[in-house]
Structure 1
Amino acid sequence: MKLRHTIAFAISIPFASATIAQQIGEVDTAFKLLGPDHKIVVEAFDDPKVAGITCYVSRSKAGGLKGALGVATEKSESSIACRQVGLISSTVPIPKSEEVFSESRSLLFKKMRVVRMVDPTRQVLLYLTYSDKLVDGSPKNSLTAVPLNGAKLQFK
């Protein structure tokens, strides 16, 4: 069993997101007698290609013994809010759609993803968060929009 977990971890390393989220805070949602409580965690990450934009994602985090051991499968529910926090700029052309952040939500095959989309007509960047699994994803999602406010970005 441990060998299988080690192999799965080693295989997942090359696919890990280069963007690291910073935990901002958490609140307990359910008491667990053994292990940590169930929580809602709020994390922030900066868009890796667009300076001046930070996204805040809230998501559930399982507690109890499975949560403490890191083997719990997390729920597919999350929320996102992205905001301009500085001058919006980029040194590279921005693709029409691109994954900018991902985070494992189970030991294997389930991820929470954040995808940036471009609406050049309205001069807006959209950020969509959702969860997927190898076989069956979830339709639960959250969307936020950041107006470019005159920032001149190049799009692919």
Structure 2
Amino acid sequence: MTSPLRRRSAALLGALGLSLGFSAAPASAEQIGEVTTVFKLLGANHRIVVEAFDDPKVEGVACFLSRARTGGIKGSLGLAEDTSDASVACRQVGPISYKERLNAGEEVFQARSSILFKTIQVVRFYDPKRRTLVYLVYSDKVIEGSPKNAISAVAVQPWGAEGLEPDPPEYRD
């Protein structure tokens, strides 16, 4: 059961997010693992975290994201700014079906990389000529983003004994 203080805190954070123009992340990730990159005597270590999430509009596609997480005292308190280093690998993990119309550059995942103004995002594009879903991970900031990025492509293929290719998605540029 959630305490009244926790509910009020969540409502306040939600209102703050709305007032700053942030929305809830389209997909939530589960942590698969992590490795330490720098030992910190005080606070958490610097690390690389590996997370997985399913595309919220494309059934049968999962993405795996690795990203840097800053440790130390600031990192432990959620006050540090993570670097813009990230990588994404998306794969077909089952029969592909489209839940809704896909939009060019549509955000499929977002995570906070600093206390207020920096996020890491994964967006999706569709290449109809090659029948391929393309996923791009990048970091942005209110003032200035980073050119660091990575992509992954998923060729839409038949799955299993059915051997039937899914219909192409309804897609809008």
| Fold match (TM-score > 0.5) | yes
Which range moves more in the overlay, 11-20 or 50-59?
A: 11-20
Report the counterpart of residue 16 of structure 2 in structure 1. 11
Report the counterpart of residue 151 of structure 1 in structure 2. 166
* CA deviations over 1:87-117 (Å, ceiling 9, x no partner): 1101322223311111110001100010000
**How far has the Cα of 1:9 moved from its partner?**
6.4
Q: Does 1:47 align with 2:55?
A: yes
Give the secondary-structure state (helix, strand or coil) at the position aligned to 1:83. Answer: strand
| Runs (4+) off by over 3 Å | 6-10
- Residue identity matched to 1:123: R
**Alpha carbons of 1:110 and 1:122: their partners in 2 closer, same or farther (altered >3 Å)?**
same
- Residue identity matched to 1:130: Y
Report the counterpart of residue 75 of structure 2 in structure 1. 67
Structure-to-structure mapping, 1:1-156, within 5 angstroms: 10-12=15-17, 15-149=23-157, 150-152=165-167, 153-156=169-172
Q: Specify every segment of 5 or more residues in structure 2 that has no aligned partner in the other structure, as ranges.
A: 1-10, 158-164
TM-score by length of 2: 0.82
Identity within the alignment, %: 50
**How far has the Cα of 1:8 moved from its partner?**
6.8
> What is the distance in 2 between the residues matched to 1:7 and 1:154?
37
> What is the distance in 2 between the residues matched to 1:136 and 1:9?
24
Which structure has the larger Rg over C-alpha atoms? 2
Indicate conservation of the 8 Å contact 2:26/2:107, yes or no.
no
Give the secondary-structure state (helix, strand or coil) at the position aligned to 1:15. Answer: coil
> What is the distance in 2 between the residues matched to 1:11 and 1:145?
35
Q: Specify every segment of 5 or more residues in structure 1 that has no aligned partner in the other structure, as ranges.
A: 1-5
TM-score by length of 1: 0.91
Give the secondary-structure state (helix, strand or coil) at the position aligned to 2:120. Answer: strand
- Residue identity matched to 1:83: R
Indicate conservation of the 8 Å contact 2:45/2:70, yes or no.
yes
